[in-house]
A and B are shown apart, each in its own frame.
Chain A
């Protein structure tokens, strides 16, 4: 019963306004604090090379987190992310080193590197689509469906080469499949490709979420599925597409990681899903769905990435790194509670 009346405006308290602003942009504030602290403690922290190296690390998590943002905005979750990264890496690695044999003709085909990238992306997207179909058509809880896909994906990643690594993914001149390592090592305007991919994905994801009907459907679905359905939002296709997007992002990360290492290991991407979820949640997206945005996710990914690299530079043990990361995540969640309290306080004055 709080019909808004424009004529009555309670006095605005500047202090509370600023406090609110800080709370709303808390992930950004955290990022600034982390950057300032590390640049004081370690002089080389803010050097150009270090920023590029850090961003390269951030990019991998950020790309996954962008896909994850779509999923979480609908009120779902994708635990299969890390496994799909590993599976795609193994498939791409296998195609470079072994090609694929067509038994009927007795020949082995070595696809061109571009072809390998394309096939890998299609496989990642199809895997995501399958997850989405299971969730949408059979009404399986996203947590369970993606948990299942996580095990299946990891299993196939191991099966692909009996648990062994595909090493030295440089291809061979005579097969015309060289150049795979460029994706991980190459630069454009002296910025690595992975960072460009992150930037491009961020821009596209921002536009899609904020400006397209599909994006609006994603938010509505996460806010109230029943009501969205009655408004004519195509519920099932929207669900399938968000998991497909997540799978597509996974495929890119699988390719980037394999290319950076010039090798594909079956364990590639283990626990990546958790870092991605952490970035999304740190960025202010609600796990219940319907609230949040891509910009926040990007900042969240940077907080996690910068924190990790900074702690390594300072020589903090990996165990303490883990504790500190966890503490930052919990602190941000606590700040989220404060946000609602602050709103209530604002009403008082």
Chain B
């Protein structure tokens, strides 16, 4: 804790050279109905540095960024650019001031191609009337190459995997001439290799004098790339520090307000009989080959099975097959010794296999429904009394889950969209749990949520394993998968290329297994997954 004491002294006085600050937010307060999202927060952006913003979900990071990007207006406070007060009333204003943003939730149009998305509202034109597709595609190709990816400019964004979409989002920001770039969770869907490429690009941008504001929940990553760290908690500024002078436990302590020793612990649990057996699961790829290539494995009762692999390795597709969302999937699912004969999601849920999907916004939630109604959507038949849903039974289930999973809500009837990412994720998990599953399939359950919520999700997984459920989870984060899994399967190119027990697994082994079948750095083209 010597580290901590060094920095504490720095907290009150502003870091020395004020001239280095190119953008400064002063006394920002933002009030939403029923909530104060930000309270008198100061935030400095240092020129040509990576300015990291950390905090738990609901700490106000995204709100602060939305204010800087012109999406939201501050209730009080001002923003100074190069010492002069500016008023950012719209995203267009922000771009005019040289501020660009890459959002946490992707904002691309799936019905448009990669180059159309990158130049959306800034279409290139040689004669002022028609779009110059040729130049657009050429510049897109250059940008994608800079990011060391192999995505075709004419591919439709909707056909890309989330990781690739994120790359496009980053390319879109690079295409604009910006001085300050806000990145809200840019790596949440990227593989290790892709993250390293992104970091290279960030360093390049820094060298060109671009200031980066960087938000992420991956703390090791923050210290690797960050120069300055600002920590928010409950809408208030906790402290600002230089990244070189602090370490991860210190950040966690500041963020959470408690010691990190209790996070990420795996409780020992007894592993039982085979609960589910998968035999020869196959999903053909449109245009030949397989997305999931004759995969067979077991899931035991009380086991947490981790699925690791690079983006596009077929992990998510495998879970989709098990959950019954792919009509083209072929293969046997044997649950408790009984072969499942039907293939719809409804039937799989009834039999006890439920999926917590990867993309919370697009697949996990119904944005027009309340927290309570989202939670009970998959298990409505359980609350019936004669023809009607019993409000009493339903609310009992909802309140029980809110308590068990510690979902932070003022009222179960509030709209789901008013919750923070971590709390939304807990609602999706609760929805799955309310179906009383036997096997829980979790696709990137901790994507884009904070340390506190993460450890709560892991706690839930531990509890389920203790109760004899089978948990299969996909994660791109090595540390998570190593810490949580009783057994790890590694996938590459649709096949299982490695199997490790908790004790024998190491980061090196997993990475090596995930690279089988890949000669170069992981490059994938757009046809993956068929979504």
Contact = CB atoms under 8 A, between A and B. Distances in A.
Contact of A220 (B369, B384, B420): B369
Given A8-B35, A211-B388, A231-B378, A3 B346 contact: no
A185 interface: no
A315 B13 CA distance: 78
Interface string B49-83: 00000000111111100000000000100000000
Q: Of B234, B368, B419, which is in contact with the most chain A CB atoms at under 10 Å from its CB?
A: B368
Interface string A278-299: 0000000010011100000000
Contact of A1 (B34, B59, B369): B59
B511 interface: no
Residue of B32, B37, B388 with highest tally of chain A CB at under 10 A: B32
A234 B346 contact: yes
A227 B388 CA distance: 23
B62 A226 contact: no
Interface in B399-423: 408-411, 414, 418-421, 423
B364 A230 contact: yes
Contacts of B234: 5
Interface string B470-496: 000000000000000000000000000
Given A4-B414, A220-B377, A290 B384 contact: no
Nearest to A208: B387
Interface string A335-349: 000000001001110
B366 A227 contact: yes
B36 A232 contact: no
A292 B60 CA distance: 31
Contact of B362 (A6, A212, A226): A226
A70 to B, nearest CB: 15
A289 B369 CA distance: 11
A213 B380 contact: yes
A8 B373 CA distance: 25
A290 B417 CA distance: 14
Interface in B410-442: 410-411, 414, 418-421, 423, 431, 435
B45 interface: no
A233 interface: yes
A15 interface: no
Contact of A347 (B75, B408, B419, B435): B75
Interface stretch (B92-100, B334-342, B349-357, B460-468): B349-357
Interface in A232-252: 232-234
B352 to A, nearest CB: 12
A16 B75 CA distance: 17
B37 A1 contact: yes
B328 interface: no
A1 B388 contact: no
Given A2-B32, A4-B35, A219-B368, A229 B325 contact: yes
A291 B348 CA distance: 29
A10 interface: yes
Nearest to B30: A347
B33 interface: yes
A330 to B, nearest CB: 24
A224 B423 CA distance: 19
By CB atoms of chain A within 10 A, which of B34, B376, B384 has the most?
B34
Contact of A346 (B33, B365, B384, B408): B33
A179 interface: no
Contacts of B530: none
Given A211-B389, A220-B366, A347-B75, A3 B345 contact: no
Among A211, A213, A229, A346, the most chain B Cβ lie within 10 Å of the Cβ of A213
A8 B234 CA distance: 11
Interface string A107-137: 0000000000000000000000000000000
Contacts of A229: 325, 345
Nearest to A3: B58
Nearest to A8: B36
B389 A230 contact: no
B419 A226 contact: no
B389 A216 contact: yes
Nearest to B431: A231
Contacts of A231: 345, 349, 377-378, 431
A3 B350 contact: no
Contacts of B411: 4
A149 B388 CA distance: 33
Contacts of A346: 33
Contacts of B373: 216, 219-220
A8 B235 CA distance: 12
Contacts of A286: 368
Contact of B58 (A2, A226, A232): A2
A347 B32 contact: yes
Contacts of B354: 232
B175 interface: no
11 contacts: A1-B37, A2-B419, A3-B58, A216-B389, A223-B367, A227-B357, A229-B345, A231-B431, A232-B345, A232-B346, A232-B435
Q: List 10 A-B pairs, minimum CB-CB distance, nearest first.
A: A3-B58, A290-B368, A223-B368, A223-B366, A1-B62, A213-B380, A231-B378, A232-B349, A4-B410, A211-B388
Given A213-B384, A224-B366, A227-B362, 16 more contacts: A3-B420, A4-B418, A5-B35, A5-B234, A8-B34, A8-B35, A211-B387, A211-B388, A213-B381, A216-B373, A220-B377, A227-B363, A227-B366, A228-B377, A232-B349, A290-B368
